Amino acid sequence: MKKLNVENPFFEFMGRIGDVMLVNILFLIFSIPIVTIGASYTAMFRTFGELREGKTVFRSFFTAWKAALRRTVPVWIFLLLAGGILVFDITFLARAGSNGIWALAGMVTGCLLLLWSMVFCYLFPVVAGSEAAARMCAKEMVSRSLYLAVRNLPYTLVMVVLNSIPAVCMILGDFYVGMTVPVYVIVGFGATAYLNRLLLDRCSDGIKKEKGVF
């Protein structure tokens, strides 16, 4: 009987799925205090980058999470509050009507929410990218993220769609929420971050070639 070849593409693929699932579980555990979600999201991106170098999931994730915690909490709280206000405004305007000033206000709020989503796509990968980038102040991180989002708009829009799947399912109703919750508990957040990481690597000129980012 021939010995199994662990370098077979199938085993490599299954191993990568296992890594994504493990990172997903760690993300959920370390995000239990909602204020630490930013650090956990940063740790996911850092971990996926370091797995290519042969490092272990547990050590990479915990080290990245601990390093990012103090830097990401303030900017994550700001993003959380801003996003919450925008979602509340969208909900209110949707019930207020679609005529005149309400329609204009809805369009403006929708554009702001899109900008928020674009910044979110890049903000935590920027923090995860390098120590130099991580030492930026919150304003610099947001402006840098917005610059990268606009510069790589096609990739950004794909990432926005991927990141918006849970929110879309919540809007569609309980049936879709019930279908997606088990997926995201097991692998969803990790898989989304992994796909985002692949897209970031393929951005025009390569974000990792940006000085101080990746």
CA distance 36 to 73: 6
pLDDT of residue 164: 92
pTM: 0.83
pLDDT of residue 201: 82
Range 157-182 average pLDDT:
90
Q: Which residue has the higher pLDDT, 7 or 95?
A: 95
Residues 36-93 have pLDDT tens digits of 999 999 999 889 888 877 678 888 899 989 988 888 888 899 899 999 999 888 888 7
Asked if residue 155 has pLDDT above 80, the reply is: yes
